[in-house]
Every structure is written in C-alpha cells, then in structure tokens.
Structure 1
C-alpha cells in the first residue's frame, strides 16, 4: 500500500529497525557463510519491498532514498555480516543494539582505528578549510545548510527555465543538483549519527573536481560510501578468488616443470604468493624470473577482472534504481558503468606501461571530468530524464513552496 511522506518514513524506520533486530539477535549467531546467507533472505526481501512503500507518482524521492539506503546499502551490509565483515561486525558496534541498528539503517561507514576517531583538522587552519574538511556534526550541519540554500536557489531560479536550456546544459544542471542532494542527505545522516550516537562516519565525497584519473574519481573522490561498499562486497572477494586460482596454477606449473626454475626460485615464488599488500588483498612481488614475472602479469589481469566486475555490479544496482523510479529497464546504466570499468582498466594499463607519456595533471583532470560528463550525457542521464526528472523537479518545488508557505504564514 502506497503512503505519503510521514507514514512512509515511519514505516521505513520501523521495518529497518525490525530487520536490524533480526540480524542482531539471530543472524549473527549462526555460523558464517551459507547459514547466515539463507537466514538473511527475509531481510533482502524486505529491503527490496521498502521503496514501494512510497507512491512513485507523488513521492519519487522517497522511493530513491529507500532504495539507496536499504535495498542497496542495507543489503550490502547484511551480505558482509554473513561473512563477519563490514561495519556491522565491528566489536564496538556489536556491543550495543542501538549502535548496530544505526549502522545498519544509516547510509554510513563508520571510521574506526581501535576506537572511534575524528578526521583531525588543525585548529589554526583557515575557516574555509575547516568548513570543507571537518567531520564534526556542527560542520556537517553548516555544510548541509549552505548546500541546501544553493539547491533551493537552483530549483527556484534555474529549473523554471529548463525548457529554454540546451540538453547538455540541462544535464549539467542535473549533475550539480544530484551532487548537492546526495551530499545534503548523507551529511545530514552523518551529523545525526555523530551528535546522537557518537558514531563518526567516513566522508562521503572528497572534492570530485580534483580527480586526475578515472580510478581516483570513482575510488577516492565520488560517493565513497558506494565505492567502499563495492570494494568490500565485490572487488576484494573476486580478486581473492582469482588470486587463489592464479596461485594454484603457478605453483602447479612450477612443480611440473622443475627444469625451468631453480629450487631457490620456486621457494621464492611460494613465499611471494603468500604476501599481502597494504589493503589486505593477497599480492605477490616478483623475486625471480619467468614464473614470477608470469604470476605478476596474472595478478594484473586478476585486478582488471575484479575491477570490471565491480563496475558491472554498480551498473546493475543503478539499473535497478532506474527501474524503481521509471518501471523500465533500458540497460544504459549498466552500459555506462561497464564502459567506465573498461576505461579505468585501460587507464591503469597506460599508467603502468607508459607512465612517462601521461599528460600534466591539469590536463588529466580536464580529460577525466570531460569523459565522465560526456558519457553521463550519453548513457547516465537519458534513462532518468524520460519522465522521472520532471517528477523529481515537481516534488522538490512542492517541498520548497510548502516550506515558504509555512515560513511566511508563521
């Protein structure tokens, strides 16, 4: 049954905390792996239904928020919980159901290094630097208010002239509105989690305009909540599986062809295959010839396929989001993120094999942002702009008008 905003938020809150209680007092006590995964099926089903609580015709923002927070991010956190990973498995979080429910229900990754820590910004830093970087709840609220003012100004001054703008200008405006809306929502949730529950969350964006490569843009600049979740749920498991397969193949080859390697080289190969890189994913480093060099090449191939699988999974998730909003599946979102996965892989190969040919950083920034915007105009925005955009615009303007009416009448 479709409901309005107030009833929809109440229903989402009640259902999400019920699902969190189910995971806290039942799922997490089961053996990790398949038993937890099977027991979590009701949670996945519940999260998939939550966006439908809101009316798609009149409350499409509620549909989008429920999908992103619960159907996507919530399901990812439950998946990680099934294998004792992710933010919900932190001992500090597990010590309290309240913390557990907040982490499972809020679009946030907590920041912890043995204890909750804040992003330190020197006290003597310029006020603008503190405003842009500090992760305290007060600075998060200030940033959200400033961005909300800009969002309202664009809705009142720019959107009414939408029909007079060229299509590329409309997509540029949509990109700005999307960034403002997403950051306002995420930073507001982060401020609530910080002020009420003492949870410090990781920053969600880090100056996307400064990205000098596609890898930097997607992995370290744009919507870090999504990129970190995809890294944990897709990239690392796929890379680990491919690495394990590569390890077995290389060791088998080295044992079957002893004439090609010395005993010392084979021992070095076995040791290198068990080393770990700084991010916790197994990685080897060549210490000999032939087989070791071959293994390093295989590692690069494994990284490429793991990265491509990650982008493809992101495309499927965005495709599902479009379906919830428009009730149509076009494949354009999947194509957009798959294309970016291929481009990021080619870019990484370029940096590895011909690093001296890369242009200056300012040119790289221009090329990176240009590629993102052009491909977004081609594949990302069209499926959204086939009706859903007008519904979102109408809903945002109705919110603003309602606020103005209450403010003036008050």
Structure 2
C-alpha cells in the first residue's frame, strides 16, 4: 500500500515518460521480489498474479500515461484497488463484453463450481490409484475452478467495499470455437487486456511486415511474454529452476494462432467447421497440450502436496477454533 501511494504521488508530480518510469522502477522490482518472501502456495500464486504480473504491467502503462491507472480524476483509494485487482471503472454495455448473469443465477453457477472443485480436490487425494494422465486432467479442472472462485470471492469483497466491478476473468472457455477465441475472448480476460497494450500493440506498430500479416508475430510475442510470466509464477511457488515446459506450451499455442490467422486470411470465411466440431477440437487441443507441457509443472513443483498441507492446516485451525469457542 505504501509503495502504491508513492506511485500515486509520482503520477501527480511527474509528467508521464521515462522519468516517471525510473522513479517507479524500485516499486516494480519490489513487487517482483514480494512472492519470494511468502511461504504458502495460495498466497504466492495470487500475489504473483495480482501484484508481480498485473500490477507491474499496469504501473508500466501508467508511467507513460496509459492503462487503467491513468484514468482522469482517479482518487487514491480507487488507485490502490485498481492497482491490486483486475477492476474495471465502469460497466461497458456492448455486445463484445461477456454477458453478466443475474445475482441468483451467478450464485448457483459458482456453487456448482465450488462443489466440483471439492470433488476434484478429494479425487486428487487418491492420485496413487489414478493413471498419471487422469491426474494431469484433474489439475486442469482444479486450476480453472480455483481461479474462477478466487476471483469471484475477490469481486464480491470489492463490490461490497465500493461501487467498482472486477473485470470478468472467464467467459465460458469451454465454448471456444478456436484458439483465438479461447485466449482472446474467453480465458483469463484481464491478462489479455493487459498484454494487448503492453506487448501486442507495440510489436504491431514496430513490425516491418504489411499490416495484413503484422498481427501474427505480434500474437506470438504476446504468448512469449505470457510464457515468461507463467514460468516466473511457477518459480515463485516451486523454487525450482525452470524446465521451460510452460514456455513451450505458450510458444506452441502462439505458433498455432499464427497459423490460424494465416488460414483465416487465406480462406476469408469461405469455409468453416461446424460449431460443435470446432469447440470439441479446440478444447481437446488445449487439454492435450496442457497434459503434455503445462500440467506436469504442478507435479514437478509439488504444488498439489503443498496445497493439501495448507488445506489440512486451515481445517485444523478451524476445528480448534470451533472447539475452543464451544468450550
């Protein structure tokens, strides 16, 4: 909070540009180092995502007068919230944004996800009885449900404390009809919103290729940066030298999206797969490549073992608290 207050003051006193970036650089370095001083994977994961990645990228944009922190008349409390969480300052009503569920429908939807997460967690207790591929598939479901629920709880807390809305993180990713649709419009949307102005658009402007084809290398560069940040977050949680499996996963998807872009430009919508087939192939590809390259990092870093130890510690604490209160 102190660091962000300092950045807020720098923004008020120093014009946008390199000088402002230099003055905020120590804070950005501190945010990169912060997860190394935490010991629980849940805190490390959320801090690495919210602070080391999103907040630092927002501060970088803020240094040059761009991004959500550069909105005019931003008060200090709102600046702090927008820095730490994937928050949007106003609800934009247009068809390109994901449709919001009603409160009752949303609550039921998240209750189902919470029950499914508990089922997955219980299943992971019997990993010694399951084939390794099945365990890796379970990691994928656990990651999705955990992220969605953590962000939903965070959204509720922020909504209770202010009139702000958090950016929707997921838009039914299992309905994606292509990799572009999956990564750009359905999965982890706040990351897409941050990577677009920090990586995609600058590479697009600097590209020497014709505008028609410049989007392909810009997309690949975006996936390279995403791969680096994922390697960093898993390093925070596992404290192991990177195996570059995560980078390989994102490089593969970046190359495939380049191929998608080229194919779409070549056929110009003259032909397309039926929607059910496109959805099935997209999700199968994401899961298959995840099982080969992404999910094994959970096992290598022993994140599941650490998470279960934390669940047990919380359960013991709650049990002692209830017993102590009853006495």
What is the TM-score of this pair, normalised by structure 1? 0.72
| 1:5-404 → structure 2 map (5 Å cutoff) | 17-55=1-39, 59-92=40-73, 94=74, 96-106=75-85, 108-111=86-89, 116-117=90-91, 133-134=100-101, 144=110, 146-155=112-121, 157-242=122-207, 245=208, 298-327=210-239, 328-354=241-267, 355-386=269-300, 387-400=302-315, 402-403=317-318
Provide the rounded CA distance (Å) in 2 between the counterparts of 1:44 and 1:76. Answer: 9
Aligned to 1:255: none
Q: Structure 1 residue 27: deviation in Å?
A: 3.6
Provide the rounded CA distance (Å) in 1 between the counterparts of 2:312 and 2:195. Answer: 33
- 1:23-68 alpha-carbon deviations (Å, 9 max, x no partner): 111145322221111111111111012112212xxx1221111111
Q: Structure 1 residue 325: deviation in Å?
A: 1.6
SS of match in other structure, 2:295: helix
Contact kept? 1:311, 1:338, Cα under 8 Å:
yes
Provide the rounded CA distance (Å) in 1 between the counterparts of 2:58 and 2:66. Answer: 8
Cα 1:407–1:134 change in 2 (3 A) is farther
Provide the rounded CA distance (Å) in 1 between the counterparts of 2:84 and 2:132. Answer: 37
Provide the rounded CA distance (Å) in 1 between the counterparts of 2:206 and 2:29. Answer: 27
Contact kept? 1:144, 1:188, Cα under 8 Å:
no
Contact kept? 1:213, 1:365, Cα under 8 Å:
yes
* Alignment gaps of 5+ in structure 1: 1-16, 122-131, 247-297
Over aligned residues, Cα RMSD in angstroms?
2.4
Provide the rounded CA distance (Å) in 1 between the counterparts of 2:145 and 2:119. Answer: 12
Provide the rounded CA distance (Å) in 2 between the counterparts of 1:81 and 1:200. Answer: 20
How many residues of Structure 1 are paired with residues of Structure 2 in the alignment?
A: 319
Q: Structure 1 residue 201: deviation in Å?
A: 2.3
Cα 1:70–1:184 change in 2 (3 A) is same
- 1:60-108 alpha-carbon deviations (Å, 9 max, x no partner): 221111111100111011011011111111125x1x11111111122x1
Provide the rounded CA distance (Å) in 1 between the counterparts of 2:106 and 2:55. Answer: 23
Cα 1:51–1:145 change in 2 (3 A) is farther
Provide the rounded CA distance (Å) in 2 between the counterparts of 1:38 and 1:212. Answer: 43
Provide the rounded CA distance (Å) in 2 between the counterparts of 1:392 and 1:51. Answer: 16
Provide the rounded CA distance (Å) in 1 between the counterparts of 2:105 and 2:11. Answer: 37
Aligned to 1:269: none
Cα 1:382–1:153 change in 2 (3 A) is closer
Provide the rounded CA distance (Å) in 1 between the counterparts of 2:313 and 2:178. Answer: 39
Provide the rounded CA distance (Å) in 2 between the counterparts of 1:335 and 1:103. Answer: 32
* Alignment gaps of 5+ in structure 2: none
Q: Structure 1 residue 152: deviation in Å?
A: 2.8
Provide the rounded CA distance (Å) in 2 between the counterparts of 1:120 and 1:358. Answer: 26
Provide the rounded CA distance (Å) in 2 between the counterparts of 1:120 and 1:150. Answer: 31
